[in-house]
A and B are shown apart, each in its own frame.
Chain A
Amino acid sequence: MIIYGVALLSACLVVGLFLGELLGSLIGVQANVGGVGIAMLLLILACNLPWFRPLAEGAPSAGIKFWSAMYIPIVVAMAARQNVVAALDGGLLALAAGVAAVIVSFALVPVISRLSKPSVEPSDSMRGVE
């Protein structure tokens, strides 16, 4: 049943966001701390636990794969609801701060990536994917 996969996904998101809220209020921050990341870890964990594995295989997995495939369309909709006018209205200061932050952050990606252990398998598997 496809709904089992969707239900597992929903449960992971709700529990993850709840833990993120708790973490936020624990450290006294008005924000959800890592809720989505925790939810992702829960889903990965569930897919590897024998109890939950039936929910992540066969028909139920189609329910998760569907939402994974809907990711790009959702991101396109997300782009269409951004406050682009406000970004452009912010003037030179906002533009300079935003642009400079992005350029410096981009430049640091290769520097900090060196701290990670190199992939055992070549990263070719990640290339040339649509």
Chain B
Amino acid sequence: MEELVKVLVSNQLIFAFALVGITIWFSYWLSDTFTGGRIHGSAIAISLGLVIAWVGGVLEGGNKGIADVEVLAGIGIMGGAMFRDFAIVATAFGVDIRELKRAGIAGVVSVFAGVVVSFVVGVVIAIAFGYDDAVAITTIGAGAVTYIVGPVTGAALGASSEVIALSVAAGLVKSILVMTGTPAVARFIGLDNPQSAMVYGGLMGTTSGVAAGLAATDPKLVPYGAMTATFYTGLGCLLVPSVFFLVIRAMLG
């Protein structure tokens, strides 16, 4: 047993490849057997991943899901930003430039609209829950943008750690819901072509949410959505702690 743990710990990433492979195989089996392929295997695999992450969080009390379990730390490397970004860029191989140009203005508008809309929604909810100081309200609104914009804004404005934790939680809820909800709503929002995928990426903005949401819907659309989503967090970090904060403070008098 000791020998096995030793081998697994010193070959974390390799072990992760095997585990993820088994998880995906099992998910496709579930998909075929119980849904006749109607719920996509990758959608099941991503949901299963989130459940496993929850189990890991409960067991270890860390913030990296199942990757906090020592022998499973390779999952954290494989699913970390480095490999994620590398694979996202690889999906751009074979992208049709004409499709990118066709979205044009809509792609740009979607990023701005996405940041503004999510922020406003977050602000409204914060006020509805009784918050009345500009710093807390702006930070929670920032969390509704993404779970990166939340703490960046909170730190810049000097929000309390409790409010910053709330903003991260709001961003995480958003990201997880985008991962799991996208395949279900894709048909109703016309998410079946490169242009709407670019608009979707710009509106949602959470890189991990968009990455997983499109993977579970139609992998062909991934590069288009990822392309716009990648500008979202940067724009949020630019606008929210500055312009948006000033607007909120002015409105609260």
- Residues of A at the B interface (CB closer than 8 Å) are 9-10, 12-13, 16-17, 20, 23-24, 27-37, 39-41, 43-44, 47-48, 56, 61, 64-68, 70-102, 104-110, 112-119, 123, 126-127, 129-130
Contact = CB atoms under 8 A, between A and B. Distances in A.
- Count class of interface residues, chain B: 35 or more
Contacts of B114: 105, 108
Contact of B110 (A23, A95, A102, A112): A112
A85 B104 CA distance: 38
A11 to B, nearest CB: 10
A22 B24 CA distance: 38
A80 B67 contact: yes
B174 A98 contact: yes
B105 A115 contact: yes
Given A79-B49, A80-B49, A86-B172, A36 B88 contact: yes
Given A98-B177, A112-B203, A117-B102, A33 B231 contact: yes
Nearest to A95: B173
B183 interface: no
B35 interface: no
5 contacts: A74-B83, A75-B84, A80-B75, A90-B168, A112-B106
Q: Describe A's contact surface by its main secondary structure.
A: helix
A77 B170 contact: no
What's the dominant secondary structure at chain B's contact region?
Answer: helix
Contacts of B134: none
Nearest to B59: A85
B118 A105 contact: yes
A77 B238 contact: no
Interface of B: 16-17, 20-21, 23-24, 42, 45-54, 56-58, 63-67, 75-76, 78-80, 83-95, 97, 99-100, 102-107, 109-110, 113-114, 117-118, 121-122, 124-126, 128-129, 140, 143-145, 148-149, 152, 156, 165-166, 168-179, 181, 185, 189-196, 198-200, 202-204, 207-208, 211-212, 215, 218-223, 226-228, 230-231, 233-235, 237-238
A17 B190 CA distance: 31
A55 B124 CA distance: 51
Contact of B86 (A13, A82, A96, A110): A13
Query: Which of B21, B104, B166 neighbours the largest number of chain A CB atoms within 10 Å of its CB?
Result: B166
A77 B16 contact: yes
Given A112-B110, A113-B195, A79 B125 contact: no
Contacts of A41: 92, 227
